[in-house]
Amino acid sequence: MMLHGGNIYKYAKELDCDPKEIIDFSSNINAYHSQKAISLSEDLIRKYANSDYPELKTTLAENYKTDVKNIALFNGATAAIYALFASLKGKKVYLYAPLYGEYEKAALANNKDIYKINRIEDIDAEVDKKSIVVFVNPSTPEGSFYDLEDLFLEWKSKKCTVVLDESFIEFEAHKSLKKHINDYKRLYIIQSLTKFYACPGVRIGAIFSNKKNIRSLTTPLWNISSFDTAFIQERLGDADFKRASHKMHLEQKEELQMILKNSQLFDRIVESEANFILTQSSHAKELFEHLLAHKILVRSCESFDYLDASWIRFAVKDKASHQKLQEALSAFA
């Protein structure tokens, strides 16, 4: 069972090839590659960083229109998830599934009681008062974006602790609920900074909440390297990168959708508002192996709640990668 995308090293070993030879459609990282050189001075490693990361927090606050006191930084979004669940007092956790699997693991690691809601078929299911609710928006693995205003009001009326994951929100013009973090004290928003900013090797994730909640979170000293901090700070300030990314994303998502549709190999192609497309095929297992033989890795989705091995996902990539995919799909017999 494939638990995460991006594990090209495992499959490169199976194929006895260099990982660089594999086109990784399983990894949902921004396909745009900036040509701008980022200078990282050796002076960065000659002294301890300020463990409060004030400059990066200021850049984030300006970027997301919030206050520096509303931000906690972690060594990746997954680390943020575990730190958050370690701090939450509630016992009952409602997971709007399918969703990123680490939320369930983090809840179990902190002795929470888990209840799952099928958000695709039963999004209005009741939740208990003062419970913890977790919702990924845009969602994974299919990329749906939900207008959560009404549901958010329902959660608020029940005094729920609300955990929203907005890691894919920047690919398209979606509205964030960060504007509510100061008027609802039980709201936490988690965001990976590696997806849109195309830097999975740079491990930075953020939690946005009101300043009292942020103070209650435990963050290890110097939990982010100086190099990571300098890189993401420069990337956040690169307006050209953002413009080019949005343009390429929309063009390439449409191209990928047409390639999948024209192949006539899929029973269903789910409309996406993120940088990946979920498909269903009665030939999914054979397709996975066929594409892997062509050194193309896709994301099998049987590890997600309410899905099975007939579902596979394709991340949006560049034109050259899409061309290789089209050729491989055309060769499927």
* pLDDT tens by residue, 138-160: 999 999 999 999 999 999 999 99
- Mean pLDDT throughout 240-265? 97
Same domain? For 62 and 171 the reply is yes
pLDDT bin (cut points 50, 70, 90) of residue 2 is low
Q: How far is CA 243 from the centre of its chain?
A: 20
* pLDDT tens by residue, 48-97: 888 899 999 999 999 999 999 999 999 999 999 999 999 999 999 999 99
Cβ-Cβ contacts under 8 Å for 304 (sequence gap 6 or more): 97, 98, 99, 101, 140, 141, 311
Q: What pLDDT is attached to residue 8?
A: 85
Q: Per-residue pLDDT for 218 more than 90?
A: no
**Residue that is last in its domain, among 195, 217, 237:** 237
Q: What pLDDT is attached to residue 162?
A: 98
Q: What pLDDT is attached to residue 43?
A: 80
- Mean pLDDT throughout 217-222? 86
Which residues on adjacent β-strands are paired with residue 164?
A: 135, 189
Q: How far is CA 53 from the centre of its chain?
A: 23
pLDDT bin (cut points 50, 70, 90) of residue 37 is confident
Q: What is the dihedral of CA 39, 45, 48, 51, to 10 degrees?
A: 50
Q: What pLDDT is attached to residue 35?
A: 78
Task: State how far the Cα of 289 lies from the Cα of 275, in Å rounded to an integer.
Answer: 23
pLDDT bin (cut points 50, 70, 90) of residue 26 is very high
Task: State how far the Cα of 291 lies from the Cα of 295, in Å rounded to an integer.
Answer: 6
State the pTM of this model: 0.94
Same domain? For 225 and 280 the reply is no
- Mean pLDDT throughout 245-258? 97
- What is the radius of gyration, based on Cα positions, of the chain? 20
SS3 of residue 24 by DSSP: strand
Q: What pLDDT is attached to residue 140?
A: 96
Q: Is residue 81 part of a domain?
A: yes
Same domain? For 79 and 149 the reply is yes
Q: What pLDDT is attached to residue 188?
A: 98
The residue assigned the tokens 């789910």 is 270
**Residue that is last in its domain, among 180, 213, 237:** 237
Q: Is residue 257 part of a domain?
A: yes
Same domain? For 146 and 206 the reply is yes
* pLDDT tens by residue, 173-217: 899 999 999 999 999 999 999 999 999 888 899 999 999 999 999
For the chain, give the percent of residues with pLDDT over 70: 98
How many domains are contained in the chain?
Answer: 2
- CB-based contact 211:71 (threshold 8 Å): no
Q: Is residue 36 part of a domain?
A: no
Q: Per-residue pLDDT for 24 more than 90?
A: yes
CATH value at residue 105: 3.40.640.10
Q: Is residue 87 part of a domain?
A: yes
Of residues 127, 313, 311, 73, the one with CA closest to residue 135: 127
Q: Is residue 3 part of a domain?
A: no
* pLDDT tens by residue, 291-300: 999 999 999 9
Task: State how far the Cα of 263 lies from the Cα of 270, in Å rounded to an integer.
Answer: 15
Task: State how far the Cα of 16 lies from the Cα of 20, in Å rounded to an integer.
Answer: 12
Q: Per-residue pLDDT for 3 more than 70?
A: no
- Mean pLDDT throughout 230-247? 93
Q: Is residue 210 part of a domain?
A: yes
pLDDT bin (cut points 50, 70, 90) of residue 5 is low
Same domain? For 85 and 15 the reply is no
Same domain? For 252 and 221 the reply is no
Q: What pLDDT is attached to residue 269?
A: 98
**Residue that is last in its domain, among 237, 261, 284:** 237
Q: Is residue 1 part of a domain?
A: no
Q: Is residue 292 part of a domain?
A: yes
Q: What pLDDT is attached to residue 41?
A: 75
Q: What pLDDT is attached to residue 122?
A: 96
CATH value at residue 314: 3.90.1150.10
Same domain? For 245 and 208 the reply is no
The DSSP H or E segment spanning 296 is strand 296-297
Same domain? For 162 and 83 the reply is yes
State which residues form the domain around 286.
8-27+240-330
